[in-house]
Amino acid sequence: MKRRSVCVGDTVYVLAGNDKGKQGKVLRCLKDKVVVEGINVRVKNIKRSQENPKGKRINIEAPLHISNVRLSIDNQPARLFVKVREKGRELWNKHSDGSSSLYRSVRERKG
């Protein structure tokens, strides 16, 4: 499985779909999808029941495929790459104008 550069709490930029160009905060990360706050909103109908005698409609955020979002740094979509140091520590770096700068230190690899 490919590494994910997006984590819960990150701000992402939507690259494709009805909400293209919008930004939002990641609420949940699934296997290859992410749920973003206020993006890809769908209406769910709740049936009548004793608790809800009239029934109702609620808005929920549907998941987006991870390839349709990109991490937003300084309100611009950014591409990240992984650099592994000699001790096995993974670092997420971002490209900017030919140079790279550290964005997030992830973990140490075993082996």
What is the pLDDT of the chain when averaged over all its residues?
Answer: 80
Q: Please determine, for residue 33, whether its predicted confidence score (pLDDT) is greater than 60.
A: yes
Q: Please determine, for residue 16, whether its predicted confidence score (pLDDT) is greater than 80.
A: yes
Chain segment 34-80, per-residue pLDDT in tens: 999 999 999 999 999 998 899 999 999 999 998 899 888 778 777 77
**Angstrom distance (rounded) from CA 38 to CA 29:** 15
- Are the beta carbons of 25 and 11 closer than 8 angstroms? yes
Q: Are residues 1 and 38 in the same domain?
A: yes
Chain segment 72-111, per-residue pLDDT in tens: 877 877 777 666 665 656 566 666 555 556 656 665 555 5
pTM passes above 0.85: no
CB contact set of 102 (below 8 Å; sequence gap of 6+): 91, 92, 93
The whole domain housing 53 covers: 1-74
Q: Are residues 49 and 8 in the same domain?
A: yes
pLDDT value, residue 1: 46
Q: Are residues 70 and 85 in the same domain?
A: no
Q: Are residues 53 and 91 in the same domain?
A: no
